[in-house]
Amino acid sequence: MPLLELREVGARYGQVVALRGVSLTVDEGDFVAVLGANGAGKTTTLRAISGTVKTSGDVLLDGDPVFRRRPERMAKLGVAHVPEGRGTFTTLSVLDNLRLGAWVQQGARGRDLARVFELFPVLYERRDQRAGTLSGGQQQMLALGRAMMARPRLLLLDEPSLGLAPLVTREMFDALRQLNEQGTAIVVVEQNATLALEAARHAYLLETGSVVLQGEASVLRTNDDVRRSYLGY
Amino acid sequence: MANLLQQIVSGLASGGIYGSLALALVLIYRATGVINFAQGELATLSAFICASLVGHGWSFWAAFAATVALSFAGGMGLHTVLIRPLARGPLLGIVILTIGLLIAVNGLDTWLWGGAVRQFQGPFSTSPIRVGGVAFSKQDLGVIAVSLVAVALMGLLLSRTKLGLGLRAAAANPDESRLAGVPVDGMYALGWGLAAALGAVAGVLAAPSLLLEPNMMQTVLLYAFAAALVGAMTSPLGAVLGGLGLGVLLNLLGTYVHWIGGDLRLAAALALILGLLLVRRRA
């Protein structure tokens, strides 16, 4: 039984249809990349999962459909959504940001904080500083750390590499790989298809709200259309 | 010299009341972006409730505790029933609502308890206590102590507890807080409840000296606004310090600047509000 399943999910913003009958599956411990151009519906797919947008169709967690999804509820069910732009609480300290991540866990455990600081030592150094003073890359690490504090079963990441230098991006994907090895399923939405396909095991390609291609990441990487349109060679 | 110290302490006592109410205003403004014009009247209502309980034979501190708890619950209920439904509309709608609430609560107080001024027996005696050779009013010292404890407890709640963190997060970034699992609307209600509780403290502390009647807190509200503006409506510390400072300043002005006296103190406070608003615009 897959951890997450989307069945013919549709979504619209007013009159504009963003998703048309998207179906996808994420197994326990899977690493899935959702690719596509701007406006293809990648962000909306994540929003559909976390309940940030109203949808038609079914979203199933552990085989059970979750009706009337709301972000607070999905967080309690073990889904951590890191939206585009990282969503840092800039006026709170780094430590408070992390503590907030553990809200669904009845409060931060020292072990969880230690895990985050081990992965991202810079967060420990700046733990008492206002999160708004961190660089873009550090804020992305903070966003990831905050999501980790919730000990999620499923981590949704929207454009984590946006605005980050290549080196920082690689570090971040290394961290994601580690997290995945420890058992967290990851769905990453990325315009940087190369990096995403290297890290992921499965991938879905969206175009104007529909899935046009899906399969193992290694297969998609060698697909001619994908290479031409999204990998640039 | 002794007179100066007495006036300062007396000013701090008034300032503690202004600061408590100012903190309530800041709490609500930061949490829900609303300026609650009814905060003073709600505090008056709390003071009336406390007086009623004492009149029914309750000991003061039991009545005080019950009043604070009731006010907390009332504040939460007020947000859920009146403010939350209007959250998606224009801000002006909520502003008009709080002004309407001000008028309604004032009317309620008059209807339930009459408009006559009445004595309120506080927990502190008005007899003097000598500290270092200077006589201070026990009541002033008691008011300072209680308001500082209330404000300090609020500060600890906000900075050290999980609920306080949730409230700060919901105020700063509600969408992101929801994704983290924080029940944002519940946090807003909590903010209103805490503000009402602080208002209750301010009202009960003010009643012995201001005398209990429906309009009791109207000028206090203005002073509280001035104090809150010192903290730009968003700094809790600024609001409390502003309140204390304003209390002392107004008292000293009233005592030592003869042409200000008691009558122009309110005008002085309003001038301060105006000045702060103008300065803030430029800065």
Q: CA nearest A146 in B: which residue? A: B180
**pLDDT tens per residue, range B131-179:** 777 888 888 999 999 999 999 999 999 999 999 999 999 999 999 999 9
The amino acid present at A60, given as its one-letter code, is: L
**pLDDT tens per residue, range A26-44:** 999 999 999 988 888 899 9
Mean pLDDT is lowest, of B36-40, B136-140, B180-184, for: B136-140
Is the distance from CB of A48 to CB of A55 less than 8 angstroms?
A: yes
Q: Find residues 124-183 of chain B whose CB sits inside 8 Å of chain A.
A: 162, 165-166, 168-169, 172-173, 175-183
B181 to A72: CB separation less than 8 angstroms, yes or no: yes
- The DSSP output letter for A13 is E
A72 to B165: CB separation less than 8 angstroms, yes or no: no
| Predicted confidence (pLDDT) at residue B260 exceeds the cutoff of 70 | no
Is the distance from CB of A11 to CB of A43 less than 8 angstroms?
A: no
Is the distance from CB of A25 to CB of A203 less than 8 angstroms?
A: no
Residue tagged 């750390």 (tokens): A145
Question: How far is B183 from B173, CA to CA, in rounded Å?
Answer: 12
pLDDT band for A107, please (50, 70, 90 cuts). low
**Phi and psi (nearest 5°) for A68?**
45, 55
Q: Residues B79-88: what's their mean pLDDT? A: 88
Question: How far is A148 from A159, CA to CA, in rounded Å?
Answer: 17
pLDDT band for B282, please (50, 70, 90 cuts). low
Is the distance from CB of B258 to CB of B271 less than 8 angstroms?
A: no
- The DSSP output letter for A53 is S
In chain B, residues with a C-beta closer than 8 Å to the C-beta of A91 are 168, 172
| Predicted confidence (pLDDT) at residue A92 exceeds the cutoff of 90 | yes
Strands A154-158 and A79-82: parallel
Structure tokens given for B232: 């730009």
Question: How far is A97 from A120, CA to CA, in rounded Å?
Answer: 14
Question: How far is A159 from A82, CA to CA, in rounded Å?
Answer: 9
CA distance B176 to chain A (A): 6
For residue B46, the number of C-alpha atoms closer than 13 Å in the C-beta half-sphere is 33
Q: Find residues 130-189 of chain A whose CB sits inside 8 Å of chain B.
A: 146, 150
The amino acid present at B247, given as its one-letter code, is: G
**Phi and psi (nearest 5°) for A57?**
85, -175
Cβ neighbors of B174 (< 8 A, separation 6 or more) are B184
Q: How far out from the chain centre does Cα A10 lie?
A: 19
Nearest partner of A49 among A3, A17, A106, A88, judged by Cα: A3
Structure tokens given for A104: 């669904």
Structure tokens given for B91: 């801000």
